[in-house]
Structure 1
Amino acid sequence: MANTVYRKQEQEPASTEVLEVAPGVLRMQLPISMPGLGHVNCYALEDSNGVALVDPGLPGEESWQALMDRLGAAGIPVERVHTVVVTHSHPDHFGGSDQLREVAGAEVLTHEAFHSRILDAGDDLDTELLELDDEAIVELWKQRITESERTPWGEVRQPPPDEVMLKWLHMDPAGHRRFLAPHPTIRVADGDPVRLADRDWFAVHTPGHTFDHLCLFDPEHGVLLSGDHVLPTITPHIAGNPNLGDPLATFFASLDKVAGLDDLTCVLPAHGHPFEDLAGRCGHIQEHHADRLQLLRDAAAEHRDAPVEAWMKVLFKERSWGEMAASETYAHLEHLRLIGDGDVRRDEDGLLRFTLSSS
């Protein structure tokens, strides 16, 4: 059988190999199965007190067991994990954080703006978990998600698939079921020092992929833990979050921010392999989005007064259609509107409809 060839680094399945990728920093890849992604890089930062783990994978038994296997291969007892760093509020990055807090007593460190909308819908369900079976819990959670709010562009929010939501349920040592929700115990602001691997790293707030995205920079060795902010061969999703103002411009500003870091020698992304030319990669990502803006302008004549879903089909292939694609489309449409290249109105059903200026 021929070996599968992956066009993008981020698609590669998780390796079981544990590698030192920077002084005192080990990379452990954990399996995920998400569109365009085959693994998440969990980094172990070793110091005299134990280790900190960055982005400990998805919720669920498969990811947890893979993490335990990698820690075992590295000779690190789970009890020595003193801190979990979560770069942002996506489940493939914070899924193992609550179990590490439970098993090892680890602190959970995030940016001060960390927030998960999906988990909000389950915040007060714990007492009800005692009386419901798993399927009933999932149905109740889905109902709360769809009823909680609409997207900024007016569509009803869609919950994750049932099989994904079931992985969020966890039986603790006392025999109680609860949701695997992250509970930050340390929240940092931009520029705050964080002592890890026996040296100071500095918090770099990089909103764009999410509002709460956090990178960490080690000026001593020139290492950046970039999370999903900058990836080596795919362009990160941009959140259509109105709290970002102009989401696309905010993302571009965050790219410029990390591209300007002094004496940077190595970027450690959450997916894919380490790389060096951060400024060049940031420039390529910005060029990609400039091309996407032009695609929208070119479609202006055929899409007058069109909802975000229709514009989404201009930018994305059918296999990618869904809320994340719509969110990124909304971010681009809002940027064009805010720079004076479009107008928007909200129709009687609550949907935003955009009209753009032709190119």
Structure 2
Amino acid sequence: MARTFDHGGGVRSIRVPIPDNPLGYTLVYVVETDRGPVLVDTGWDDPGSWDVLVAGLDACGTGVSEVTGVVVTHHHPDHHGLCGRVREASGAWVAMHAADAAIVRRTREARPERWYAYMAAKLTAAGAPREQVAPLRAAAAGGRELPRFSPAPPDREIVPGELLDLPGRRLRAIWTPGHTPGHVCLHLEEEHPGELPGRGRLFSGDHMLPGITPHIGLYEDPEDATVTDPLGDYLDSLERVGRLGPAEVLPAHRHAFTDAPARVRELLDHHEERLRSLLALLAVPLTPWQLAERMRWNRPWADIPPSSRTIAVSEAESHLRHLFKQGRVEPVPGSDPVTYAAV
């Protein structure tokens, strides 16, 4: 059964389930325009998720065949996954920021052994134990297929700062890198239907969520060796959204909320506290893997499965990268795998 909610002012949401994921669901937003409904994200590419999306659109008084466009906040499969099926059913355009569109293209073209070898090398360099790396090396050598999310190539580019082509609406793209390099928030520059104080409404994707912090890891791309600072990108993007001052935030998970500046302050404080705690841990040299083992997570390290440990190490590395760019940590000369220490 589809669960929908009317947010007023021609905006509704559908809870599209994410199979076997603690987040539970993605909130797919249905925005009425003078040309027909446009979706903000689509949900995970799964038969059950598709059925819920279709039923939810019916419950919203429209249908999947009537969708004219999809605006994708970022390339992750719980947001972009069903774009291809929506386009097949309706002929809708699909829009995405160029940085994430490039990742989609490379994902479609990737040789499985290249990705497995890349991830094995990254984990080895991070100091991961043999049992964490061995399955990836075996997959690379054995030609195992990658999990396929059928990412649909976008056919429109979201240009930061510009209004999207939604007749009868004013929806402006705000580039908010960090969670992904091409993540965007979408500012609906219209009076709030409930007359809440502030500047319109903000579709925040995964950039800003109530009660949970989005994953900020390194931008994983075997074909791009650019040294980036995703956490720095994210913190800068948060401050940009805080200055925007929307009346209400419509996130991709959980529920809508108000007082965006307060939530921005909470997230900034969270990451500053985490950086301080990492500096304390780095009073002795540690590899990224050792650092991740000692960081505070939502459960003990021993209870975190291998796939989630890989994600955790990427988050540890993004914080290390940020501290290094600030001059607060340095790699220890001659260490192999490389260790880092506070300076």
| Unaligned segments of structure 2, at least 5 residues | 127-132, 192-199, 220-224
Q: CA deviation at 1:142?
A: 4.4
| In 2, Cα distance between equivalents of 1:183 and 1:199 | 25
Q: CA deviation at 1:153?
A: 8.4
CA contact (8 A) 2:205 2:252 kept: yes
CA contact (8 A) 2:45 2:77 kept: yes
Q: What amino acid maps onto 2:38 in structure 1?
A: A
Query: Is residue 2:314 matched to residue 1:297?
Result: no
Query: Is residue 2:18 matched to residue 1:32?
Result: yes
Change in Cα spacing, 1:121 to 1:20, as seen in structure 2 (3 Å) is closer
- State the secondary structure of the residue aligned to 1:196: coil
| In 1, Cα distance between equivalents of 2:21 and 2:272 | 23
Query: Is residue 2:214 matched to residue 1:214?
Result: no
Instruction: Answer with 69-78 or 224-233: which moved more.
Output: 69-78
| In 2, Cα distance between equivalents of 1:261 and 1:244 | 29
| In 1, Cα distance between equivalents of 2:116 and 2:104 | 10
Q: CA deviation at 1:21?
A: 1.2
| In 1, Cα distance between equivalents of 2:334 and 2:43 | 40
Q: CA deviation at 1:122?
A: 4.2
| In 2, Cα distance between equivalents of 1:49 and 1:338 | 47
Structure 1 length normalisation: TM-score? 0.78
Alignment counterpart, residue 311 of structure 1, candidates 291, 312, 316: 291
CA contact (8 A) 2:239 2:264 kept: yes
Q: CA deviation at 1:243?
A: 5.0
| In 2, Cα distance between equivalents of 1:307 and 1:118 | 31
User: What residue in structure 1 maps to residue 195 of structure 2?
Assistant: none
Change in Cα spacing, 1:257 to 1:152, as seen in structure 2 (3 Å) is farther
| In 2, Cα distance between equivalents of 1:211 and 1:74 | 32
Q: CA deviation at 1:17?
A: 2.5
Q: CA deviation at 1:90?
A: 0.6
User: What residue in structure 2 maps to residue 52 of structure 1?
Assistant: 38
Change in Cα spacing, 1:163 to 1:65, as seen in structure 2 (3 Å) is farther
Change in Cα spacing, 1:64 to 1:197, as seen in structure 2 (3 Å) is farther
1:270-297: CA deviation from partner (whole Å, max 9, x where unpaired)? 0011111101001101111111112212
| In 2, Cα distance between equivalents of 1:183 and 1:346 | 43
1:317-346: CA deviation from partner (whole Å, max 9, x where unpaired)? 324442221111111111212222111258
Structure 2 length normalisation: TM-score? 0.81
- State the secondary structure of the residue aligned to 1:26: strand
| In 1, Cα distance between equivalents of 2:329 and 2:14 | 45
CA contact (8 A) 1:244 1:250 kept: no
Equivalent residue runs for 1:114-133 within 5 Å:
114-115=100-101, 117=103, 120-123=106-109
Alignment counterpart, residue 56 of structure 2, candidates 70, 78, 82: 70
Query: Is residue 2:196 matched to residue 1:223?
Result: no
Q: CA deviation at 1:347?
A: 6.8
Q: CA deviation at 1:146?
A: 0.6
Equivalent residue runs for 1:78-157 within 5 Å:
78-115=64-101, 117=103, 120-123=106-109, 142-148=112-118, 150-151=121-122, 154=125
Q: What amino acid maps onto 1:332 in structure 2?
A: H
CA contact (8 A) 1:41 1:270 kept: yes
| In 2, Cα distance between equivalents of 1:352 and 1:120 | 29
Query: Is residue 2:238 matched to residue 1:255?
Result: yes
| In 2, Cα distance between equivalents of 1:54 and 1:244 | 31
Query: Is residue 2:262 matched to residue 1:280?
Result: yes
Q: What amino acid maps onto 2:165 in structure 1?
A: R
- State the secondary structure of the residue aligned to 1:113: helix
Q: CA deviation at 1:239?
A: 2.6
1:154-189: CA deviation from partner (whole Å, max 9, x where unpaired)? 467969xx99926x3xxxxxxxxxxx2221111122
| In 2, Cα distance between equivalents of 1:94 and 1:269 | 15
User: What residue in structure 2 maps to residue 332 of structure 1?
Assistant: 319
Q: What amino acid maps onto 1:65 in structure 2?
A: D
| In 2, Cα distance between equivalents of 1:294 and 1:348 | 23
Alignment counterpart, residue 169 of structure 2, candidates 186, 193, 199: 199
Change in Cα spacing, 1:234 to 1:193, as seen in structure 2 (3 Å) is same
- State the secondary structure of the residue aligned to 1:42: strand
Change in Cα spacing, 1:23 to 1:311, as seen in structure 2 (3 Å) is same
User: What residue in structure 1 maps to residue 194 of structure 2?
Assistant: none
| In 2, Cα distance between equivalents of 1:164 and 1:20 | 38
Change in Cα spacing, 1:57 to 1:117, as seen in structure 2 (3 Å) is same
CA contact (8 A) 1:87 1:227 kept: yes
| Unaligned segments of structure 1, at least 5 residues | 1-14, 125-140, 169-179
Q: What amino acid maps onto 1:204 in structure 2?
A: I
| In 1, Cα distance between equivalents of 2:321 and 2:12 | 40
CA contact (8 A) 2:28 2:42 kept: yes
Pairwise CA RMSD: 2.8
CA contact (8 A) 2:104 2:151 kept: no
Change in Cα spacing, 1:255 to 1:153, as seen in structure 2 (3 Å) is farther
